[in-house]
Structure 1
Amino acid sequence: MTRQPATRLDPEADTAPEQRSIQSVVIGFRLIEALEAAPGPLSLKELAAAAGMPPSRAHAYLASLRAVGLVAQDGEGGRYDLGPRALSLGLAALGRLEVRDAALPAMRRFRDGTGEAVHLSVWAGQAPVIVSRLDGTRGGSLSIRIGTMLPLERSASGRIFLAFLDEADAGARERLGETVDRVRADRMAMTDGLLNAGFAAISVPVFDHLGEIAGAMTTLGAAGHLDTSPDGPAAEALRAAGESASAALGYQPESNAEPEGR
């Protein structure tokens, strides 16, 4: 007697249990992605449509996602939203992001596109300290070693922190007055020969997911060689690099229109 092959009632079923489990996670995650993209809580019908599956199937997956806290439901049969576990996972992931790692790809693009040197500084209690650098490929750039502490008033990086970090020296902020106000308004600081004679600098802030300053990205070059005009190619490229690094840290300008650090 010839043995007939088993009929596969579920076209998404796989012969290996491991494959079925992986596929279930992928399918269930479509519901998480739909909730992430939604402006607010969704009904079962709305959520199923957004995830591209029948409501009955979505309901089965949602029961499991609710059990582990990835999805929450407002009352019996109410609308669905992301649950507390989704929030804690997101915050844990954000907490693991190092500003150096987030900024490095943007710094490379800036250096490769402009040929200028670029470095990143973070707040170290009383002043910014350089934690990452990429040397320029063009002549006339100045290499500053990692670990260098930068003065608040005489460096472009320091002025960025004065403009956006509340705990920075209030006395220095008051002494610079309108200069700090302009840095805050422009989201860019420029200095020429203040820290190193014959060298100019441009610096922009890098914000984290809370809209707080996480670092300052700065390019430094020979005065007259580095174009420090606000709408010049170096300034525009550095601004784009700072925005890219901020986005990598979870910063969303539309929800953080006014960064903290007044």
Structure 2
Amino acid sequence: MKKKGAKTSIEKALDLIEALKNADDLGVTELSKILNLNKNNVFRLLATLEVKGLVEQDEETGHYKLGMRFLYLEDAYIKSLHFLNTAKPFMRKLRNQIGETVYVSVLHKNDVVYVYSEESNKSVHVHSKISQRYPAEITASGRALIKAESEDIFPVEVDIEETEPEVVEVATVIRDELNHPIAALSIVAPISRIDKARIESEIRQPLLNAAKNISEKLKEKSETYVL
């Protein structure tokens, strides 16, 4: 019988994956301390996850890191976001028009997660945010999504160095056929290239146009399916 409060093997494995996600790599001793498990339990969990390709061991150090299978799982998740196929051409057009990286992100509980981007072609641009997770309230994308849940609008939110130093994000939302905000559309660039004047003169309206066009296209596709 499972002791009250004791974790299942699945819960322990998920805790281990979370620990590896937050570090470059970890040894068995480190994992044992972090997870509060004896080394034999850690070895068994690692062996199971390694067989499934979810963790990999460095032959030189003996440390463990997340495995390549997570790339497959990430790709499968992105493909499950069906609205992305509609959004991509509008994102590319916006990227080409503004010259900066364009992102789509989604809410997950209290966080915002960046799931797809059209990267800027400029030699200096912000490192990729793909798969990065941030508290929603400190990002422009997260704040736009939160505001759009209570108001029937396309809000524009701005994050100037709140999430990362020297980085600016300008975001609004994409709405589905039921008018629900399903994702944020944002432009991210170094602060050296975006100031408040450029946001108002060059970025705000093209960003809104792209988000509204994607939302309208999603609505049109839904109506086509109904017919």
TM bin (shorter chain):
0.5 to 0.7
Q: How does 1:74-153 map to 2 (within 5 A)?
A: 98-153=82-137
Q: 2:167 aligns with which of 190, 199, 203?
A: 199
Corresponding position of 1:232: 201
Q: Provide the rounded CA distance (Å) in 1 between the counterparts of 2:173 and 2:153.
A: 12
SS at match of 1:211: coil
Measured on the aligned residues, the alpha-carbon RMSD in Å equals 2.5
Seen in structure 2, the aligned counterparts of structure 1 residues 208 and 185 have a Cα distance that, compared at 3 Å, is closer
Partners of 2:103 and 2:187 within 8 A in 1: yes
C-alpha displacement of 1:145: 3.5
**Which has a greater percent of helix?**
2
SS at match of 1:147: coil
Corresponding position of 1:190: 158
Seen in structure 2, the aligned counterparts of structure 1 residues 185 and 237 have a Cα distance that, compared at 3 Å, is same
Unaligned runs of 5+ in 1: 1-95, 167-180, 252-262
Counterpart AA for 2:89:
P
Q: Provide the rounded CA distance (Å) in 2 between the counterparts of 1:249 and 1:163.
A: 21
Identity %, equivalent residues: 20
C-alpha displacement of 1:231: 2.8
Matched, 1:244 2:175: no
Q: Provide the rounded CA distance (Å) in 2 between the counterparts of 1:238 and 1:226.
A: 14
SS at match of 1:250: helix
**Which has a greater percent of strand?**
2
| Shift >6 Å, 4+ stretches | none
Q: Provide the rounded CA distance (Å) in 1 between the counterparts of 2:213 and 2:154.
A: 17
Task: Name the stretch that deviates more: 211-220 or 227-236.
Answer: 227-236
TM-score (norm: length of structure 1): 0.49
Corresponding position of 2:147: 163
Partners of 1:140 and 1:225 within 8 A in 2: no
Counterpart AA for 2:202:
P
TM-score (norm: length of structure 2): 0.56
Q: Provide the rounded CA distance (Å) in 2 between the counterparts of 1:140 and 1:212.
A: 35
Partners of 1:127 and 1:151 within 8 A in 2: yes
Q: Whose Rg is larger? A: 1
Task: Name the stretch that deviates more: 191-200 or 147-156.
Answer: 147-156
SS at match of 1:231: helix
Unaligned runs of 5+ in 2: 1-79, 221-227
C-alpha displacement of 1:165: 2.8
Counterpart AA for 1:151:
P
C-alpha displacement of 1:199: 1.1
Seen in structure 2, the aligned counterparts of structure 1 residues 97 and 198 have a Cα distance that, compared at 3 Å, is closer
